[in-house]
Amino acid sequence: MDGHDRILVFCHMNPDPDSVASGLAMKQLLETRFGKEVTLTYRGIIGRAQNRQMVKLMAPELTRFSAIDEYRFGAAVLVDAQPQFGFNPEDLEELDVPVRVCIDHHPFVDSTRDLPYFDVRPQVGATSTIMTEYLRLFSVVPTQAVATALYYCIKTDTLGLTRRTSDADREAWEYLLPMVNHVTLQSVEAPPLSKAYFRDLRDAIQSARIYGNLVATHLGRLPYPDMVAEIADLLL
């Protein structure tokens, strides 16, 4: 990204913790090591209580894309997403900022090959693990907020190193742990919850039906898309 002083770092649509933490790490890397001016942005909704709390405490600089003048930026970076994964394809086609870099841990998408630089590792449990490696590679020590965010996301995406975990995830976990702010971490893991949250949860449980090894429920209208995944996690 030589020749571009202002960089736009995109989280995926309706960003989850791994996307936000990876964006924070990329922002610190580009600003600290390469002297870039970086804006972290997203499209969609931040709905889940844990996600809102994480952004409030660790990523207050995260800015909705509609509030950004994209013409100020020379290049864009995707984290925890790829051109055909985590975005509406037409959204990227309409961008006036060229995407130059992609860092992700989801299954590889062929269109990603068209980018000048990509690092996609489906065998790794979290994009936060990959970004921790980049910080260490360029001798950038993460701030406490960034370290806490990265650790939290490795913890959640791998279920505490019990699901789809690689040696890289374990190494990143051990590296980040001494830098974690455990008060902030606890606040994110157990955020304030609204009455509406418990009402939706009650309705989902009451309407749940078990068919063999399948659980089905009717959710009706929900306040945000993440609620579907949240209830699915609970019923699993």
Q: Are residues 46 and 91 in the same domain?
A: yes
User: Residue 90 above 70 pLDDT?
Assistant: no
Please answer whether residues 7 and 37 qualify as being in contact, where contact means their C-beta atoms are separated by less than 8 angstroms.
Answer: yes
Q: Are residues 32 and 131 in the same domain?
A: yes
| Domain annotation covers residue 81 | yes
Residue 202 CA to residue 189 CA, distance in Å, equals 21
| Domain annotation covers residue 1 | no
pLDDT recorded at residue 91? 65
pLDDT digits (tens, 9 = 90+) for 13-53: 889 999 999 999 999 999 999 999 999 999 988 988 999 99
pLDDT recorded at residue 217? 94
Percent of the chain's residues with pLDDT above 70: 97
Which positions ≥6 away from 96 have C-beta within 8 Å? 70, 71
Q: For residue 212, give its domain range.
A: 195-235
Q: Are residues 34 and 143 in the same domain?
A: yes
How much of the chain is helix, strand and coil, in % rounded to 5?
Answer: 45, 15, 35
Please answer whether residues 80 and 49 qualify as being in contact, where contact means their C-beta atoms are separated by less than 8 angstroms.
Answer: no
pLDDT digits (tens, 9 = 90+) for 119-174: 999 999 999 999 999 999 999 999 999 999 999 999 999 989 998 899 999 999 99
Mean pLDDT across 70-77 = 93
Round the average pLDDT of the chain to a whole number and report it: 92
How many structural domains compose the chain? 2
Which positions ≥6 away from 213 have C-beta within 8 Å? none
Q: Are residues 109 and 200 in the same domain?
A: no
pLDDT recorded at residue 196? 85
User: Residue 89 above 70 pLDDT?
Assistant: no
CA angle (148 as vertex; 44, 164 as ends), nearest 5: 75
